[in-house]
Amino acid sequence: MCSLFQSPGFYGVVVGLLMFPALWWIIWALLPPGPFDMDIHGETGSFVPLLTMYVDIAKFVIGLASTSIALLVGSATFRATGTAGPLLSAFASPLFLLALSIVWGVCFMPFLALDYEAYRHNQKPYTRFRYSRNQAFGFSCLICFALGYLWLIFVVKGH
């Protein structure tokens, strides 16, 4: 069990995986019972510009996170010694946070779109459960991304 805690990236995985359920629970606890209107003031289709903006933000964060992972892992081949070598294990936790940022963002986009589609066709109300889940996916994406970058700063500064 002790070796599990010493595994490279263990703390990044734990923080990233617990981010979503923790946020979901907090947001769910703070929300009124619902159901909620997705369209602003009941005006049909008024959520579409917001949906587009939310998806664009998620795509932007996913793009930055995935590019960062690719550049960081790719840069391991160009170490200061001039020889290719493995990536420092200190980078594992922030890389896992960036990867989980991608996972939470990819989950955020279709769930939000599906919930809006179901809402628009009067199939399912936008419940407290769905609203808090979507909020948790979106904020987990952003927080894991920010924490991953902050962690990277501290790792780079320490080496």
Residue range 20-42, pLDDT digits in tens = 999 999 999 999 998 999 988 87
pLDDT at 74: 77
Cα distances (angstroms) measured from residue 151 to each of 63, 77, 85, 94, 134: 19, 22, 22, 6, 25
> Taking 80 as the threshold, does the pLDDT of residue 2 lie above it?
no
Is residue 24, in this structure, part of any structural domain at all? no
Is residue 119, in this structure, part of any structural domain at all? yes
Mean pLDDT across 137-156: 93
Is residue 18, in this structure, part of any structural domain at all? no
Q: Letter for the amino acid at 112?
A: L
Is residue 92, in this structure, part of any structural domain at all? yes
Q: Which of 111, 143, 110, 145 lies closest to 127, judged by CA?
A: 111
Helix (H, G, I), strand (E, B) or coil at 122: coil
Is residue 34, in this structure, part of any structural domain at all? no
> Taking 60 as the threshold, does the pLDDT of residue 102 lie above it?
yes
Is residue 15, in this structure, part of any structural domain at all? no
Question: pLDDT higher for 114 or 123?
Answer: 114
Q: Could you give the number of structural domains in the chain?
A: 1
Is residue 154, in this structure, part of any structural domain at all? yes
Rounded CA gap, 77 and 130, in Å? 44
> Taking 90 as the threshold, does the pLDDT of residue 122 lie above it?
no
Is residue 110, in this structure, part of any structural domain at all? yes
Helix (H, G, I), strand (E, B) or coil at 126: strand
Domain extent at residue 156: 58-159
Question: For all residues of the chain together, what is the average pLDDT?
Answer: 88
Cβ neighbours of residue 39 closer than 8 Å, sequence gap 6 or more: 45, 46, 47
